[in-house]
Structure 1
Amino acid sequence: MELTVYGPLRAATGTKRVRVDPDGGTVRAVVEAVVTAYPRAESHLVDCDGTLRPSVRVTVDGERASLDDDCPPDAEVALFPAMRGGTR
């Protein structure tokens, strides 16, 4: 499965488009596959207890998705980690 990563995840993966082989058909399986394939991405995606960081956004076919949502192999998946900076 190919997916698009944004922000600081690009530094962890080395590219905007990455390929992973999730062990299951859920968003959780995709996130776990990204962390396994790109260990430096873990701190951007999950907290120390293994839960998805509240500021991380995952979309499947353009719609926001939760970890337990289905994620078919041909879906367009994007990962948006927490972004820092900006002004108020």
Structure 2
Amino acid sequence: MEVTVYGPLRAATRAKTADVPVDGDTVGAVITAFVDAYPRAESQLVDADGALRPSVRVMVDGASADRDEQVPPGASVELFPAMRGG
């Protein structure tokens, strides 16, 4: 699945998009696969207990999505990590 990343996640992927093999069809499966492929991104996306950080935004086909939502085949997935500053 192609995932578009923003902000500091690009330091992990070294590109705007990343092709990630996903085993499952939920946002949670995409996050897990992304972190498996790019371990440096883990601290920006999930807490120590594995929960998605509250300030992380995931978009599926342009709409905000939570961890349990389905990701249809061919969907556009975007990850917006927590941003610091004012």
TM-score (norm 1): 0.95
Matches within 5 A, 1:14-33: 14-33=14-33
Separation in structure 2 between the aligned mates of residue 64 and residue 82 of structure 1, nearest angstrom? 15
Aligned-pair distance for 1:33? 0.4
Counterpart of 2:50 in structure 1 is 50
- Following TM superposition, the consecutive aligned residue runs of length 4 or more in structure 1 with deviations greater than 4 angstroms are none
1:51 maps to a residue whose letter is A
Identity %: 67
Counterpart of 1:36 in structure 2 is 36
Aligned-pair distance for 1:60? 0.2
Counterpart of 1:70 in structure 2 is 70
Structure 2 residue ranges without an equivalent (≥5): none
Aligned-pair distance for 1:73? 2.6
Separation in structure 2 between the aligned mates of residue 84 and residue 20 of structure 1, nearest angstrom? 26
Aligned-pair distance for 1:17? 0.4
1:78 maps to a residue whose letter is E
1:50 maps to a residue whose letter is G
What RMSD in Å do the two structures reach over aligned CA positions? Answer: 0.7
Counterpart of 2:2 in structure 1 is 2
Structure 1 residue ranges without an equivalent (≥5): none
Separation in structure 2 between the aligned mates of residue 78 and residue 37 of structure 1, nearest angstrom? 16
2:31 maps to a residue whose letter is V
1:77 maps to a residue whose letter is V
Separation in structure 1 between the aligned mates of residue 78 and residue 34 of structure 2, nearest angstrom? 11
Aligned-pair distance for 1:21? 1.1
1:14 maps to a residue whose letter is R
Aligned-pair distance for 1:13? 1.2
